Amino acid sequence: MTSLGSIDDIENSGVAMAGIEDVARAAGVSTATVSRALNGNPHVSEPTRKRVADAAAALGYVVSSNASSLASGRTKNIGAVVPHLNRWFFSSVIEGAERALLRRGYDLTLYNLSGSGDERRTVFENHLLRKRVDAVIAVSLELTEAEVGRLIALGKPLVGVGGPLPGVRTLTIDDRAVAKLATDHLIALGHRRIAHIGGDKEFDLDFHIPTNRRMGYQQALDEAGIPLQPALFQTADFTIAGGYRAAKQLLGAPRDRPTAIFAASDEMAIGSILAARDLGLSVPRDISIAGVDDHELADFFQLTTVAQFPDRQGELAVEVLMQALEPAPTPDALPEHDASATIPVPYQLVVRNSTSRPLDTA
Amino acid sequence: MTSLGSIDDIENSGVAMAGIEDVARAAGVSTATVSRALNGNPHVSEPTRKRVADAAAALGYVVSSNASSLASGRTKNIGAVVPHLNRWFFSSVIEGAERALLRRGYDLTLYNLSGSGDERRTVFENHLLRKRVDAVIAVSLELTEAEVGRLIALGKPLVGVGGPLPGVRTLTIDDRAVAKLATDHLIALGHRRIAHIGGDKEFDLDFHIPTNRRMGYQQALDEAGIPLQPALFQTADFTIAGGYRAAKQLLGAPRDRPTAIFAASDEMAIGSILAARDLGLSVPRDISIAGVDDHELADFFQLTTVAQFPDRQGELAVEVLMQALEPAPTPDALPEHDASATIPVPYQLVVRNSTSRPLDTA
DNA sequence: GTGAAAGCGCTAACAC
DNA sequence: GTGTTAGCGCTTTCAC
């Protein structure tokens, strides 16, 4: 089983793994020069660089990241903490971040910080805080001030995605503006009885996302001179099942049924579509429904939504970190932000077939 | 920003990070003993062990994983390669593996090997193959023989999840048995016209999953003496949208419509349910539908399915690796398997409301 | 049961 | 532009 006789063996001819000294010998230079050449240090002549690169390739040399990290203090590894993995938003952010990191030769190690007890502390102390990662990306995770402070004291750059962290740069959509946009879309279509399905207060993964989206919704109504009606507000847990239940409440009312629903997430919006169907209502003829996310199922359900781009957010988070980790030659690559600012990320209204003019407006 | 005045400061009183020497001094022992005590080496007296542990705790000492790895050759980090992250199966496996690893003090570094070109090679050569990971978990990913061979030659344990890898221990459900079970369930209910939605041949992430499930389906029909009808077979891409389209084909037929559908995944089964509804058919009255997975949406759609437990599969994969990485005191902790065997994992029929007796049988 | 000391394989001063 | 060399912070023989 040791040799499968593949073409790869050619590169792997030596019995033991080649070290930097083997490369140095083969290239006729010192180990210092090998290190410099391979790390893109500018003070190496082009011919030397090439000789080293060739020798390294011929020997199948790859640096030992441990030795390198130990000597340099950099691990080329970043930690990502998430509260869950199998939800669309989180896994998309991680996918985007991972892609961006790989491109730069970094690794991504994943920490699922769901348990908030001892386990969380262990991860924090033993993994994140120490020499395993150069920086951390916190996805929709509320870190305590103490946690943030220790990371910063250790000089580890930290960036948040999906919600503001105290004193930390965070990438997030403007939840309020997003909600207002969706609601405005409904208002512009002629709707006046617009319900809202927000997030449960106890939904602890987020920051003030439910509140902010509700405020955007209210603001849109305000500006249109539409009075707020408590009966048109429900909360759920951001899932399809939750949205389904909430929408049943909203749509089952015998009178003064809303003509439109703005759900704070696509999954809840999809639940609403299914609830409407089960009640014999046609979407969008009897009821218009809009969400937020552009979830992978949004297209299938022809859902009008405000898209956010979590994978792009993950990539952006990496760019922010790289700015701190590897000061660019041109320091104005990205516009500078406050160390503790919220960095807005793009969003976009995607109109599909779940919204239209209300019937009684015709 | 350096001090947030939290209680954590108590533990972190020193300005610089405590090293093993600080602990040694505080405990009045040598660094060698500190190392031994902290790593559970049996040749340390109980009092000494306690003094060291206390000193370490008081100083907030945590080993530098790089230094430790460099000296010991073990990284306490395992690599997980996946073709995608934001699909239920993959993210669940990773979540399970991550949980099991954390418990043992290991990290999980994630590699998205979707690009199959140069990027893939880079990941392989520069990350997986070298001193960054002690072992690797390959989730539903077809590694080439050369790739597998090199990993093994380097002594890195490798375990697959979700599909057989050449010469590698792999955890996977018995796809054929699972499909047969689902189909048998339908047959037992009295169905004879049972359609199957399988996976596209081009669906390259898998191994022979579509084929194996189809064979299980056929075998069940065979044994029941039900002739196979090509018209009752469709393929799709394992998604809701794909299942929807395939089911429309199956159910739109003006005559000889199937009374049941066995879809090779829950997502396709859910798509089928939605297609049936759109065609005015009632599930399960007019059409019974069964899937495979027990996807998070299965319960909401009241889908009868054969559950597999991907998070458990991830945990199991970790256990298999640990057996190789950290030979247990009692070597019979887990039943021994062939180094290259397929390890079957549990599955279970979950009957909900999407299946019932066919109408014309009553 | 414990200590002394030799590396692990690199990188980064510092020379030249 | 390149070489010499001193560590990085641990683990692990080898003594005792």
pLDDT above 80 for B290: yes
| pLDDT band, residue B258 (cuts 50/70/90) | very high
Residue B362 lies in a domain: no
Which CATH number fits the domain that encloses residue B249?
Answer: 3.40.50.2300
Structure confidence at residue A330 (pLDDT): 47
Residue B238 lies in a domain: yes
Question: For the segment A119-149, what is each residue's pLDDT rounded down to a tens digit?
Answer: 777 777 778 777 789 999 999 887 888 888 8
Q: Are residues A217 and A290 in the same domain?
A: yes
Residue B83 lies in a domain: yes
Q: Are residues A168 and A179 in the same domain?
A: no
Closest CA to B81 of B118, B131, B115, B117: B115
Last residue of a domain, one of A43, A70, A97: A70
Structure confidence at residue B76 (pLDDT): 92
Top residue of A9, A13, A62, A85 to mutate, by most chain B CBs within 10 Å, is A85
CB B246 within 8 A of CB B346: no
Residue A147 lies in a domain: yes
What is the token pair recorded at A205?
Answer: 């993964």
Last residue of a domain, one of A70, A85, A120: A70
Q: Are residues B227 and B245 in the same domain?
A: yes
Report how far residue B46's alpha carbon sits from residue B8's, in angstroms, rounded to the nearest whole number: 28
Question: For the segment B216-253, what is each residue's pLDDT rounded down to a tens digit?
Answer: 999 999 999 999 999 999 999 999 999 999 999 999 98
Q: Are residues B92 and B241 in the same domain?
A: no
Residue B59 lies in a domain: yes
Q: Are residues B58 and B136 in the same domain?
A: no
Q: What residues contact residue A128 under an 8 Å CB cut-off, 6+ apart?
A: A79, A81, A111, A136, A151, A156
> Per the CB < 8 Å rule, is A8 touching B131?
no
Q: Are residues A295 and A194 in the same domain?
A: yes
Strands (E), B207-341: 233-236, 260-263, 288-293, 304-308
Question: For the segment B42-99, what is each residue's pLDDT rounded down to a tens digit?
Answer: 999 999 999 999 999 999 999 999 999 999 999 999 999 998 898 999 999 999 999 9
Structure confidence at residue A128 (pLDDT): 77
pLDDT above 70 for B320: yes
User: Would you state the torsion angle of the CA atoms of residues B2, B6, B7, B9, taken in this order, to the nearest 10 degrees?
Assistant: 0
Please state whether the predicted TM-score (pTM) of the whole model is above 0.85.
yes
A169: part of which helix (H) or strand (E)? strand A169-172
Q: Are residues B182 and B287 in the same domain?
A: yes
Q: Are residues A194 and A301 in the same domain?
A: yes
In terms of residue numbers, what domain contains A50? 7-70
Q: What are the backbone angles phi and psi of residue A322, rounded to the nearest 5°?
A: -65, -35
Q: Are residues B194 and B253 in the same domain?
A: yes
Q: Are residues A198 and A296 in the same domain?
A: yes
Q: Are residues B227 and B105 in the same domain?
A: no
What is the average per-residue pLDDT within B208-213?
90
**Token pair 């503006």 in the structure block, residue:** A177
Residue B149 lies in a domain: yes
Which residues in chain A show pLDDT less than 50?
1-14, 330-334, 361-362
List C-alpha distances in Å: B131 to A258, B109, B156: 60, 13, 10
Tally of domains within chain A: 3
Determine which of A202-211, B169-178, B192-201, B298-307 has the lowest per-residue pLDDT on average: A202-211
Q: CB distance from A336 to chain B under 8 Å?
A: no
Last residue of a domain, one of A70, A91, A108: A70
Residue B349 lies in a domain: no
Chain A residues within 8 A of B149 when measuring between CB atoms = 1, 3-4, 6, 8
Q: CB distance from B224 to chain A under 8 Å?
A: no
Q: Are residues B264 and B155 in the same domain?
A: no
Question: For the segment A195-213, what is each residue's pLDDT rounded down to a tens digit?
Answer: 999 998 876 555 688 999 9
Residue A222 lies in a domain: yes
Minimal Cβ distance to A131: which of B4, B65, B112: B65
- The mean pLDDT of chain B is 88
Which CATH number fits the domain that encloses residue A27?
Answer: 1.10.260.40
Å from A173 to nearest chain B CA?
20
Top residue of A106, A109, A283, A303 to mutate, by most chain B CBs within 10 Å, is A109
> Per the CB < 8 Å rule, is B107 touching A127?
yes
| pLDDT band, residue B166 (cuts 50/70/90) | confident
